[in-house]
Amino acid sequence: MADGVELTIVVPCYNEEAVIVESADRLRACINKMILAGKISRNSRILLVNDGSSDATWDLIQGLCAKDTLFCGLSLSRNFGHQAALLAGLHIAPGEAVISIDADLQDDLEAMEQMMDRFLEGYDVVYGVRRARNVDGLFKRVTALGFYRLMGLLGTRTVHNHADYRLMSRRAIEALRDYHEANLFLRGIVTLVGFRSTTVMYDRHKRLAGETKYPLRKMLALTLSAITSFSSVPLRLISLTAMLGILILVAVALWVIWARIFTNLGVPGWASILLPVLFIGFLNLLAIGVLGEYMAHIFDEVKARPRYIVADTKNLWVSKRGEPGTPISAEDFVGREVRAYETRV
């Protein structure tokens, strides 16, 4: 590693025209600093992934790529979502190490140097973990805390206060290729990859400009995907709830019998008909709802549709996986998902 580690920084972008130029300048300064320090190679790159933006994001990315070969561009055919765009970047990113970070740069860039230090110590996965959530509102802090606690209770391995700011080694990236879930929750999938891992603490900043790309609707969708993709506990809860329902039903039946024999409080017929019907109806709806969520995920997985489709690339050429001497034009990937290939710049 005399020439330093070849690093690629993957940046998913969706309608980021307000921040992309400033973010690119900061990332350029960060990567040049690490090059001068001898931690990374001069072949290191910044890969900007356009997730079907409807504004000028891709035009700005193309402009950056034309002016500076430090930048590479990848554009998806439509908006596939943050997780799919991030996965596309990880699949295509060249280099011995890959760091993923959001375009708003709320995550501290200084943590990248610490990540590289941990990588050089032999760690394959380095998670960026927030020290606190001071920049978040009360609602966001409460819901985030509830999310991590819920995932822990459901038996899903996640790193507390870690989003998608992380470093992965080349062998960790290659192992990630073997996970083909259509319903992506990379924070959970990466922990399943294994290998030696550690954390780096950092302070999160306010967004440079624009608005969050994870409103409440998308946060709820990600939470639901995480639960149904990584935990079978809700299915088991149906059986437990049914057992509890039987106990309650027995208790109601005993009360109805007691009231009928020893008191004049009960109106004949109402309790023995209405309460069991309502209770059983509730259990049925609950069970159907939970099973429906899991069946919907199975439906998506069985279809095996591409998780993203490449529309265009800039400053990239591609070689067959396992055959680094056989170059293929990046245009060959346009119109499909990159699966069994790796890339070079």
* Those residues with Cβ within 8 angstroms of residue 45's Cβ, 6 or more apart along the chain or in another chain: 7, 8, 9, 70, 71, 72, 94, 95, 315, 345
Q: How far is CA 121 from CA 1, 102, 160, 233, in A?
A: 13, 25, 23, 37
CB atoms within 10 A of CB 106: 18
- At 135 the pLDDT is 55
Angle at 54 between CA 190 and CA 91, to 5 degrees: 25
Structure tokens at 37: 């320090």
- 310 pLDDT more than 90: no
Model pLDDT for residues 54-88, shown as the tens digit of each residue: 888 999 999 999 898 899 998 988 888 888 888 88
Structure tokens at 229: 């993709």
- 115 pLDDT more than 70: yes
Residue 245 DSSP class: H
- 176 pLDDT more than 70: yes
- 232 pLDDT more than 90: no
- The 3 state secondary structure assigned to 266-289 is CCCCHHHHHHHHHHHHHHHHHHHH
- At 48 the pLDDT is 93
Residue 333 DSSP class: G
Model pLDDT for residues 262-275, shown as the tens digit of each residue: 776 656 666 667 66
Percentage of the chain exceeding pLDDT 90:
10
pLDDT confidence of 143, banded at 50, 70, 90? low
* Of 158, 175, 20, the residue nearest 90 (C-alpha): 175
Q: What is the mean pLDDT of residues 282-291?
A: 72
pTM: 0.67
Which residue did the predictor score with more confidence, 173 or 301?
A: 173
- At 315 the pLDDT is 82
- 324 pLDDT more than 60: no
